[in-house]
Structures are given as structure tokens and as C-alpha cells.
Structure 1
Amino acid sequence: MSRLLPNAGIARVYVLAVLVLAFVFIMSEAYIIYLTRQGEKIINTNQWQIPEVQDAVSSSITTYMVYNVLFILAQVYIIFLCLEALMYKNTIQVIAVIVFYIVCQTYTAARYISFYVLPSLAARIFLRDRNMQLMQVSVMAMYAIALVSLVVLSYKLKKDVGWSVFRKLGADISLHRAYAWHQCLTILLKIDIYFVGSYLVQMTALILKADDIETWLQITVFIPFCIIVIVGAFYALYGERRRLMIVIAGCIFLSVGYFIFKIVRVCDPSIVNRPGDPYADNRPFIMITIVTCMLLVIATGLASIKCIQNFDSGLKEAIAYDEMRIRHQKMYATPVPADEKHESGRLLSDPDSPTRDRFALE
């Protein structure tokens, strides 16, 4: 961990906090899944229930459990984002983790509303379940605590991360701005992977039917389209391939129309609260997902345009040189003599590993 940031103590606390929070959230969601399964058993053992009602409630409970699994996967993804943010000293990614938690908090609030404020038919079986209500309130409170904790730790990490960027790119302000947009687009694409993937899981597993043409369009067109666009965006960004990035940006903005179409489709008055409504129990969740995906897509498109403008500014060469310098430090590192240590030595190397690149041009 000492190699992650100059102030390794804060980095360790940050990673430990994220791991502890993730463990607590995963255990909480697992317990909510258990309570949901218990509710399903109660429904199935009530023989007096109308079969159609039992089927509808069982389908709704399956929907709730799918979202619990997505909550758990979100925690795993947050761990990945946090560790990578520290490893590559990415300030924007540290901030993106906080935004990720805010979206998760929004989901938990929507879940509580759908269970206890505006309960659906399936959710009514949990109105007297104090354990379920207590767990959902606890999860919302823990997300609030997690947000405050990560904001404080992120603020403390910001200075160290900023110094690492200064060392990488020097004092060229235009290069720093280009690198900031480069990082911003990278982070947006990484977050797109989770939220677009979450949207595809929700639509494919919970909404679409095998006999619906939209199902096959989703599987054969939209899913491959998303994969190609995201992979192509990474490829064009790191290679500064201007023409490819222009095409990718165009595809990204075109996809906004698809999400607008889905918003209109989900909110169609002709199906809301009607028999056979495919969004009966997950309308709040799917709407949050669609709106989040649309905002992310718009932000990704705008960041792509800024990155296109910054191509050929020397950023690619600066990043390549820094990577070469790091490889040399690992291959030819030697101890720094005591008489060469000075005030900036803390930023150049960690006290626990006082090495330098004897072939560096600094």
C-alpha cells in the first residue's frame, strides 16, 4: 500500500473503510434476500390465495431479489474502483466512487418507498415485517455514513493525488487539463460498464419476454452495440485515434434517443397500474437506472468531444514517458544517498522504499 500514495496511512484507512463498508452492505443485502425468500414461502403456503395472485407476487419477489444481487455486485465494483483509483492516483475516480454511493443511496430510498410508502401487491406482505423494515432503514443510514466518511477521506487524499499528477506531467497547465478530461472519460466509461450492464440485466431478466421482438433486438443489437462502443471508446482514447473517437461520440449521442424512448415507454399511461403491467414492481428502480444511464451517456459524449479536442497535445507521449520511467525505476532502482535527500524527497519516493531511477532524465 505504501506505493499507492505518499501518505500511505490515509490510503490504508481509505481502503479499509471501503472494504468494511462493502462487507457490511453485502451482509445486509444477503439478509434482505433471506427475508424476501421467507416472504415468498409464506405466499406459497397460503393455499387460499388465487393462483394468479400467487404467480404475480412470486414474480415480484424475484424482481426484488434481482435488485438485491445488483446491490451486492455494486459493492464489488466499488471496491474495484477504489483500489484502482489509488493504484493509478486518479482524483476523479475517487470522486466518482462518492457519486456511485449517492446513486446506490437513491436506489435504497426507492426500495423503501416501494415497500412501505407506496407498497405494491407483493410488498404488502412485508408491511408488518419489522426485520425487513429495520434492515432497509439501516442500509439507508449506513449509506449516509459511508458518504460522509468517504468525502472526508477523499478530501485528505486529494492533495497527495494532485502531487502525483504534477510529478507525472510537470507544470504545463494545458497538459493537466487534457489529462483531467482523459481521466474523466476513462471513469465515465468504467461507470457506464456497470450501469448499462445493470440496465441490460434488468430489461432482459425482468421485463422482456421470449415472444417479444424487443427481446431479440435487445440481445442481437443493443447489447453488442454497447460492447462495441465502450471497447472502441477505450481503444480510441488511449491511442488518440481521432476519427474513431468521432464515430464513437456520434454513436453515444444517438443512444440518448433510445433512453428517451424507454422513459416514454415505462411511463406510458396505457400500461401504468393496468393488468399485465411489465413494470409494476420495478418502475422506480428501472426509471432510476434509465435516467442514470442517460445522464452518464450524455456526460460520456461531452467528455469524448473534449478529449478529441485535446488529441495531439502531447498527452499521449507524456503518459508513455511516465510509464517508461516507472518501468525503469522498477528495473534499475538504487538507494537514494542520504546527502541527496531534500525537502521534496517525500514526494519522489516513499520512506519505506527509498529508491530512484538511475536512468531518469529528471
Structure 2
Amino acid sequence: MTLVSALRTRLDAVMPRGFLPRLYILAVFILAAVFVVAESYILYLTKEGHVAALNSIWQVPGIQRAVTTSITTYMVYNVLFILAQVYIIFLCMEALAHKDIIQIVVVVVFYFICLVFATTRYISFYVYPSVAARMFTRDSNMQLMQITVVIAYVLSLASLSVLSLKLAHEIGWDVFKRLGADIGLHRAYMWHQCLMMLLKMDIYFIGSYLVQMTALVLKVDDPETWLQITVVIPVCVIIIVGGFVALHDERRGLMTCVSLCMFLSVGYFIYKIYRVCEPGTINMPDDPYADSRPFFMITIVVCMLLVITTGVASAMCILSFDSGLKEAIAYDKMRTRHMKMYAVDKDIRQEQEPLMPRSSSLTRDRFALD
């Protein structure tokens, strides 16, 4: 019984209160479960199509090798779609736990980017199919599932936009009461939330880009592979971690370095766009981006926009340092912890052991007027 009570207390602390926040998180959980099941089924159909292609009339080694590479590309993107749903759940839970309006809105943007990827996948399969994608042109199950995923993203984007708008109005007043009427403090807190959200988005999309580069394009005998592993990946991790540390401790020097690194990384992504769209590799037999080119382009453009906005938000946060925001956040966390510890935000009827005995158990006062 003690374990059940402890689990219930922990669940109450994590789950948001109120009808609208719980409806929002329930909708996100249902949508994520639907997309995970759909993407898992598409992953299964892709694997079955690969086996059928290897056993079919395509017995030419070069074609079979190209088909295997393309199928690996599609499977990697299926896994990234599934991980995106898990990351969306994490963003929603954290947004409601911290009452972060910007993070709630960005979840909708995240779904929009997923919709763009799903539409691009359908186009690459059925509008402009490659050699490997032609094996699915007569697969009605694959086409039906991809159309279903696109329609589901459109419906989820519309429903979450309405819920996010209503939830932002509800949470916004609570945030205003927590910070007070200082306009400068609210502006500093807005940029604090923006940078925090952008860094979280950087984790997924830059990580997704690095996974795509490492798993699909780079080769063991290519010097760029070792440059990617030994330099690019560690530098990305250091910059993102440095951004979180500088924002939490309000370190101007470290935040300045993070902002400069973000702006300088734009040149790297422009170079990668040139490499992906290089005329000498398009439609060639050894094209490393044969089936992943549209997905790579979307990922690189999203990453480039993210690093630019992260650099701008970092610079704005530097200007708002030492404005009292750090102390206000620390005080708000202490007050929230105090309220949870002493249950001052709960009604007495929610307590398992009432602070005062029930009225029925009180002895009647013989001096009472009634």
C-alpha cells in the first residue's frame, strides 16, 4: 500500500493539473502511439519489400547493392520518425511541468516539420520514385499507410494548434502572476525560454543530421568520416552543453562563445548543401545521396535555421543577464518545492489524513448556540 501511495504521489507531481492540460497530454500520447504503430508497420513493409526484391528478377549485383542501400536509407528515416514521437512526448511533458508557453507552441512546429518529411517521403516513393522505390509502386498497403500518415499529421497539426492556443492563454496568466508586473523581467524570461527551447530542438535535429551522415553517407575509408566522428560530433555536443550551462549560470563569456560558434556553423551547413547538390554526383551510379537527398536537404535547412535563431537568442540572453531573472527563477523553484512539500496548494479534501477531524467526529460543544 505504501508503494502504491508513493507511485500515486509521484504521478500527481508529474501529471499536469486541470482539464485542458490533461486533455492536451492525452491527445499527444494518443497521436504518438498512432504514429509509432504506423511507422513500425511501414518499417515492416519496407523490410518485406527488400526481401522480395532480393528474391525477384533483380539479380544484377549492382542493382541489388543499390536497392540494399536505398532500403537502409528508408529504414533509418523510419527509426528517426519513431524517435521523433518519443521526443515530442518528452517536450510536451516538460512544457506542462514547467508551464513553458513557447515549448508548447514549438511542439506544433515539430509536428509541421514531421508533416513535411512525411509528404517528402510519399513524393519520393510514388511521384518521383527511384530505382529502389519502384518496388513499392504496386504495394497498396505501403501507399495506403503513407497517405494515412500524411492525413494523420494534418489532423494532429490542426487539433494541437487549437489546444496549444487555448493552453497558452491559460498558462500565460499563471506565468504573469509568478513573475510579477516587471516588463523587463518578462522580456528576459521570454528569451530564456526561447533559447532553452532552441537548444532542445538542436539536440534532436542536429543529432538526426549526424545520424544520417554517419549511417548513410560516410564510409570507413573516407577521411570525412573520421573528421565527423572526432571533430564535428564532439564540437556539437560541447556547444549545446555549453549553451545550457551558460544559460543556467548566466555566464557571459561562455554564452558569447556559444553564439559565435552557432553563427560560424552556418558556413559548414552551406558547404554541406553544396556537397549534397553537387552536379557531379546527381544521378550517378555512386551517388551517396541517391535516395536521401530530399531528406538531407530538409534536415540541413532546418539545422541551419535553428543555429541562426539559436545564435540570435544567445545574443539576446547575454543582454538580459544580471536582470534578476536568475534569482526570480530560483525563488519560484523554492516556492514551488515548498508548496509541494507542505501541500499548501491542495484542498483539505484531497488529503489522505485530514489536518482536523471531521465534523461528525467532533464532540458537540454544550455552549454552542445551536
- Report the counterpart of residue 213 of structure 2 in structure 1: 203
Instruction: Report what 2:316 is aligned to.
Output: 306
Equivalent of 1:28, from 38, 54, 58? 38
Paired residue for 2:108?
A: 98
CA shift in 2, pair 1:245/1:10, >3 Å = same
What residue is the counterpart of 1:120 in the other structure?
Answer: 130
Residues 190-215 of structure 1: per-residue CA shift (max 9 Å, x gap): 01000000000000000000011110
Q: How does 1:250-261 map to 2 (within 5 A)?
A: 250-261=260-271
Post-superposition shift, 1:330? 2.5
* Corresponding residue of 1:244: 254
Q: Which residue of 2 aligns with 1:345?
A: none
Q: Distance in 2 between matches of 1:52 and 1:175?
A: 63
Alignment-derived partner of residue 153 in structure 1:
163
Q: CA deviation at 1:54?
A: 0.7
Instruction: Determine the structure 1 residue equivalent to 2:22.
Output: 12
How high is the sequence identity, in percent, across the aligned residues? Answer: 63
Corresponding residue SS for 1:121 = coil
Q: Which runs of 4+ in 1 moved over 3 A?
A: 1-7, 348-354
Distance change (3 Å), C-alpha of 1:313 and 1:352: farther
Distance 2:57 2:349 in 1: 68
* Counterpart-to-counterpart distance in 1, 2:131 and 2:200: 36
Residues of 1 paired with 2:348 and 2:18: CA distance?
10
Number of residue-to-residue matches in the alignment: 341
CA contact (8 A) 2:196 2:244 kept: yes
TM-score, structure 2 normalization: 0.89
In the alignment, the residues of structure 1 paired with residue 333 and residue 24 of structure 2 have an alpha-carbon distance, to the nearest angstrom, of 25
**Alpha-carbon distance, 1:46 to partner:** 2.0
Larger relative contact order, structure 1 or 2 (CA cutoff 8 Å, min sep 6)? 1
- The 1:207/1:350 distance shift into structure 2, 3 A limit, reads farther
Shift of 1:38: 1.1
Would you say the 8 A contact 1:256–1:298 is kept in 2?
yes
Deviation at 1:260, TM superposition (A): 0.5
Are residues 1:40 and 2:40 paired? no
**Contact preservation (8 Å) 1:240, 1:312:** yes
The aligned amino acid for 1:58 is T
The Cα shift of 1:176 comes to: 0.6
1:50: which partner in 2? 60
Partner of residue 92 from structure 2, selected from 76, 82, 90: 82
Q: Which runs of 5+ in 2 are unaligned?
A: 1-10, 352-370
CA distance in 1, matches of 2:37, 2:169: 34
| Distance change in 2, residues 1:227/1:75 (3 Å) | same
Kept in 2, the 8 Å contact 1:2–1:8? The answer is no
Cα offset for 1:7? 6.2
- Aligned pairs (5 A) from 1:174-193: 174-193=184-203
- Of 277, 282, 290 in structure 1, the residue corresponding to residue 292 of structure 2 is 282
Q: Where do 1:339-354 residues align within 5 Å?
A: none
Equivalent residue letter for 1:277: D
Aligned to 2:361: none
Q: Distance in 2 between matches of 1:267 and 1:288?
A: 12
Q: 2-side partners of 1:211 and 1:18: how far apart?
A: 43
Structure 1's unaligned 5+ residue stretches are 335-347, 355-362
The 5 A counterparts of 1:131-170 are: 131-170=141-180
1:71-114 deviation per Cα after TM superposition (whole angstroms, max 9, x unaligned): 00000000000011000000000001000000000000110110
- 2:268 counterpart letter in structure 1: Y
Kindly indicate whether residue 82 of structure 2 is the aligned counterpart of residue 72 of structure 1: yes
TM superposition score normalised by structure 1: 0.91
